Amino acid sequence: MKLTDLETPALILDRSRLERNIVRMRDHLSRLGVVLRPHVKTAKAIDVLRLALAAQPGGITVSTLKEAEYFFTHGVRDMLYAVGIAPNKIAHVAALRGRGADVTIILDNVVSAQMVAEQGGAMGVEFPVLIEIDCDGHRSGIKPGDAMLIDIGRILYGGRGTRLRGVMTHAGDSYNCKSVDEIRAMAERERAAVVRCALDLKRAGLPCSVVSVGSTPTATYAENLDGVTEVRAGVYMFFDLVMAGLEVCTIDDIALSVLATVIGHQQEKNWIITDAGWMALSRDRGTAKQKVDQGYGVVCDIDGWPLTDLIVAEANQEHGIIADRNGGALDLKRFPVGSQLRILPNHACATAAAHAAYHVVDGGAEITAVWPRFSGW
């Protein structure tokens, strides 16, 4: 089967780029002496994870318990569920652990720590826990130096239903950095925050065997990871336009695209209309605040070569509107009705979430495999 045989919109995954991205991150982190715990929130497919783990076997990070269930069914045991635990998920985590999945959870407050310790004690389950640290003011976590760290540590260490495993942080604000130097500084800030918290716990007589950091920008530009035991990164496998805008990758590294078909034109507006709207591309406009605003995506020809004069300027639910990047006139005859284009996504996680499968190509137009993926909770 070829790309031209596909019903559109369809999600395309370039396997050679995927493998190159996986190997590059593995080599970089092994030079720095740390283990990569890939985050599977973007991939959500065992075929993708197999390539990531083939490069370096080990545990994974999940963002939903559905991911934990799915990857456990496919043989993965060691999983970090890296979203603060909610009371209504404790029983599910206990059930997974009961079936042999080594799921670690995270939390950042006394109420959650007490709740997990009590419920674990009552259920006869011991939940391994990492305390979440806020290294950059991005969202959740305890600020380094906050005495609450030790309070939570003592509850987890003393509780019958909990085992204190360590600390973790995610430098999510690295997505807003304005230069590579800023990302490098952010990587050091991320490292320093958790290493300091690990030391504070140890000084208080508490265990801290795991010191976990991670985001694709900081993982890419980290120069020193002393004191860190593992790095979590996810979007590095696929990359996207936001990552390219941050200079974390180049456009040529982006492994995901959406295949779209031209369904018409608006001659007087110089528009090409396609069947890939925001349902297929996502509403994510993550490049809007970057140096180059990529609209709803970079337009490529069917072979994946960027058509640099074009942009997806607008997106309705099932319609994409492609225009000249600078608002100029287009030779619409270049894009007849029925011709196909590939759109590179702003945010790989959001785009992939709309699709039930990856159509795998290996640089060419031949579809070499179809890899199912899932969404939701």
Ligand X SMILES: Cc1ncc(COP(=O)(O)O)c(C=O)c1O
Stretch that binds ligand X, among 45-53, 95-103, 181-189, 213-221 (CB under 6 A): 213-221
Shorter beta-carbon distance to ligand X: residue 132 or 200: 132
Strand, helix or coil for residue 267: helix
Among 119, 215, 261, 274, binds ligand X (CB under 6 A): 215
Tokens of 373: 């993926």
Separation CA 110–CA 31 (nearest Å)? 37
Shorter beta-carbon distance to ligand X: residue 214 or 277: 214
Shorter beta-carbon distance to ligand X: residue 239 or 358: 239
Least distance between ligand X and beta carbon 174 (Å): 8
b/e map of 194-205 (b: 16 or more CB within 10 Å)?
bbbbbebbeeee
Binding to ligand X by residue 141, rule CB under 6 A?
Answer: no
b/e map of 265-290 (b: 16 or more CB within 10 Å)?
beeeebbbbbbbbbebbbebbbbeeb
Least distance between ligand X and beta carbon 8 (Å): 27
The length of the chain is: 377
Binding to ligand X by residue 345, rule CB under 6 A?
Answer: no
Of 322, 272, 312, 254, nearest to 288 by C-alpha is 312
Shorter beta-carbon distance to ligand X: residue 220 or 274: 220
Shorter beta-carbon distance to ligand X: residue 82 or 101: 82
Tokens of 29: 């982190």
Q: Quote the distance between the C-alpha of residue 154 and its chain's center.
A: 32
Furthest-apart CA atoms within the chain: distance in Å: 73
Binding to ligand X by residue 234, rule CB under 6 A?
Answer: yes
Binding to ligand X by residue 104, rule CB under 6 A?
Answer: no
Binding to ligand X by residue 233, rule CB under 6 A?
Answer: yes
Binding to ligand X by residue 52, rule CB under 6 A?
Answer: no
Binding to ligand X by residue 236, rule CB under 6 A?
Answer: yes
Tokens of 274: 């396609």
Q: Are 152 and 142 contacting, i.e. CB atoms less than 8 angstroms apart?
A: yes
Tokens of 202: 């140890």
Binding to ligand X by residue 235, rule CB under 6 A?
Answer: yes
Task: Tell me whether the omega of the peptide bond preceding residue 336 falls within 30 degrees of 0, making it cis.
Answer: no
Chain residues 299-338 in contact with ligand X, contact rule CB under 6 A: none
Looking at residue 39, the DSSP 8-state letter turns out to be B
Q: Site mask, ligand X, residues 4-43, x = CB under 6 A?
A: -----------------------------------x----
Shorter beta-carbon distance to ligand X: residue 238 or 335: 238
Q: Are strands 35-36 and 271-274 parallel, antiparallel or unpaired?
A: unpaired
Shorter beta-carbon distance to ligand X: residue 214 or 245: 214
Stretch that binds ligand X, among 92-100, 178-186, 226-234, 251-259 (CB under 6 A): 226-234
Say how many CA atoms lie within 13 Å of 60 toward its Cβ. 31
Tokens of 247: 């200079």
Tokens of 33: 């002496």
Binding to ligand X by residue 232, rule CB under 6 A?
Answer: yes
Binding to ligand X by residue 359, rule CB under 6 A?
Answer: no
Binding to ligand X by residue 216, rule CB under 6 A?
Answer: yes
Shorter beta-carbon distance to ligand X: residue 40 or 315: 40
Binding to ligand X by residue 81, rule CB under 6 A?
Answer: no
Residues that bind ligand X (CB under 6 A): 39, 61, 82, 170, 214-216, 232-236
